[in-house]
Every structure is written in structure tokens, then in C-alpha cells.
Amino acid sequence: MAWFRRRTRPRPASHHVAPRSEAVAVARVELADLAPAPERFLGQTAYLTIVLFENLGRAVTTAPTTDAKTRLTHAASELLAMHQELVGLLREHHDDPTAQMDPFRLPLDDFQRRTKGADWHEILVTCYLTNGFLLDFFAGLAAGLPRDLADRAAEILQRDKGEEVLVGELRLAIEENPRVASRLAMWGRRLIGDTMLVARSAIEQHGTAADAAAVDERVDPVFTELIAAHTRRMDALGLTA
């Protein structure tokens, strides 16, 4: 995939919930007809939000101050609420939530292992960058779901991800010890490959090579925008992407 080749092909954004970020807006337009079946989308995002919650749980546990701990609990709550509401949507859709999440368990547990982070600061960077990238991506992809579900899933996935506390703690750490910055910049760059693979795996696969190439062409501008958002997140920490 040539993710960095920029294309523009405007398509009408068709849904009500206003996108919070440019990356979400572009994903909505470009991926509108590439969304997986609803139960697949919900199964993957429901399991993903457990994984992102677990990462935040480790951030709470390893936090070096009571203040950081208690502030991070809010971000953990948000992810748990997202998970529970996505499971609720699966139930409304008459699906067994566990059966729909199970196929995503191995790849997402593997993603978690590879993006785990060696200490508190790396864990925070993982939470900040992978939550931002993946929740933006899936919020955009949600536009391709049946209308009512699209709005509800997008609303859930675009909620506050606790970025403020993650950025605040990371900035503080980098100010206190500038040598941390280069290590975290490297960690941020390492995360992006695994994170993109999770996003790409969500898009409906088509039969022929020509179809696959056509899908890649549609996905390119979305990844370009998601990477631009990733770069802005790194900038917010004063790190080079």
C-alpha cells in the first residue's frame, strides 16, 4: 500500500454525527462502501476497546503518582464505557457478543503484545497514539454501516479518549528529562506499523487482485490523513514523527 501518495476524490459524507477530526472526515468519505458487515465491525471494535482499556489499566497501575493514577482512571472508564456500549449494539443486533469478538482475539492480543511498552512512559505513548489512530479510523469506517448503527457507533468511538491527561503527563516527563524524548520518539515511530495493520485488517477483502488494488487506492488517502493526525499527536509532545 502506498499510504503516503495523496489523492483526493470527494464523496458526499452521508451521516449526522459531526466528525471531530479531519482524519475521521476523510475516512468517512473514502471508506463509505468498504465497511465490513455490522457484526464484524462491532466484534472487532468491541474487542479492540478491551485491549485499549487494558493498556490504560497498566498505565494506572504503573503511574508513579497518586494524581496521575486518579486522572488516568477517567480515561480507563471511557474505554470501558465504549466497550460496553459496543457489546450492547451487538446484542441489539441479535448477535452473541463473544462469538463476534472471538475471531479478533488472537490478532488483537498479538497487537497488544507488540505495542506493550517497557515502562510507564512507553505505555502512555502507546495509549495516546494507538487509541487516537484506531478510534479515529473506526469512527470514520462506521459511516459505511447501516444508517442508524453508523451514527451510534461513530458517536461512541469519537468520545474523549483521555488525550488531555496522557499528553499532560508525557509533556511533564519530557520537560523533566529531555533524554526521554528521543526514546519516546523512536517508540512512537515503531508503533505506527502495527497500528496501521490493525486498521487495514478491518476493511472488507475482495476477491480479485484488481479489486484489492482498487481498495488500496481508496484506502490510501485515509491512511495519509491518519498519519498526518499521528504526526500532529507526536508534535503535541514535541516529538518528531
Look-up: residue for cell 468498504?
Answer: 34
Least distance between a copy of itself and beta carbon 47 (Å): 7
Own/partner contacts of 178-184, CB < 8 Å, gap of 24 or more, are 180/121, 181/237, 181/238, 181/239, 183/121, 183/122, 184/121, 184/122, 184/125, 184/237, 184/239
Interface characters, 105-134, with a copy of itself (x: CB under 8 A): x-----------------------------
Closest to a copy of itself by CB, 51 vs 174, is 51
Q: Binding of a copy of itself at residue 97 (CB under 8 A)? A: yes
Residue 32 DSSP label: T
CA distance 220 to 87: 30
Q: Binding of a copy of itself at residue 98 (CB under 8 A)? A: yes
Which residues, numbered 51-90, are part of the site for a copy of itself (CB under 8 A)?
Answer: 53-54, 57-58, 60-61, 65-67, 69-70, 73-74, 76-77, 80-81, 83-84, 87
CA distance 80 to 3: 31
- Burial (CB count within 10 angstroms: exposed 0-12, middle 13-18, buried 19+), residue 241: middle
Cβ–Cβ < 8 Å for 167, 239: no
Closest to a copy of itself by CB, 105 vs 159, is 105
Least distance between a copy of itself and beta carbon 105 (Å): 5
Look-up: residue for cell 441489539?
Answer: 92
Closest to a copy of itself by CB, 130 vs 224, is 130
Cβ–Cβ < 8 Å for 78, 160: yes
Least distance between a copy of itself and beta carbon 228 (Å): 32
Closest to a copy of itself by CB, 81 vs 180, is 81
Which residues, numbered 150-209, are part of the site for a copy of itself (CB under 8 A)?
Answer: none
Which residues of this chain interact with a copy of itself, rule CB under 8 A? 46-47, 50, 53-54, 57-58, 60-61, 65-67, 69-70, 73-74, 76-77, 80-81, 83-84, 87, 97-98, 101-102, 105
